[in-house]
Amino acid sequence: MNESFESLSTQLRLSREELLVKLEKRQGSEEILPYVIEELEDIERTLAKMDNGEFGRCEISGEFLPEEILFMMPTVKTMFDAENVEKYYRKSIYS
């Protein structure tokens, strides 16, 4: 794993710890907790992929996902998700 991915792994591990604390202390409303759990599961799955050398591959096709997408959204699972991430970008009101 290169240095950039090591940094990403560290950030994911820190995020995992923050989410675990939130769950342990039941911080946040009951409506939000399912999303916290889902995010925690995504992070755990991504860390497992990093540990076993599968990080960055589409779960359907096995193709490598674009690195710029992985650094922006490391829990992305498929090429379809990566290709459609642009719809979540905030559009500038200035052209």
For residue 29, the domain's CATH number is: 1.20.120.910
Q: What share of the chain is helix, strand, coil (3-state, %, to 5)?
A: 60, 0, 35
Q: Is residue 95 domain-resident?
A: no
Amino acid at 20: L
| pLDDT at site 4 | 83
Can you tell me which residue has the tokens 């498929």?
Answer: 78
Predicted confidence band of residue 7 (pLDDT cuts 50, 70, 90): very high
Q: Is residue 79 domain-resident?
A: yes
User: What is the distance of C-alpha 60 from the center of its chain?
Assistant: 17
What Rg, from alpha-carbon coordinates, does the chain have?
A: 15
Rounded to two decimals, what is the model's pTM?
0.80
Predicted confidence band of residue 92 (pLDDT cuts 50, 70, 90): low
Q: Is residue 94 domain-resident?
A: no
Angle, to 10 degrees, between the axis of helix 33-52 and the axis of helix 3-25?
Answer: 150
Q: The domain containing residue 36 runs over which residues?
A: 3-88
Q: Does the structure show a pLDDT above 80 at 41?
A: yes
Number of folded domains in the chain?
1
Q: Are 45 and 75 in contact (CB under 8 A)?
A: yes
For residues 2 and 38, which has the higher predicted lDDT (pLDDT)? 38
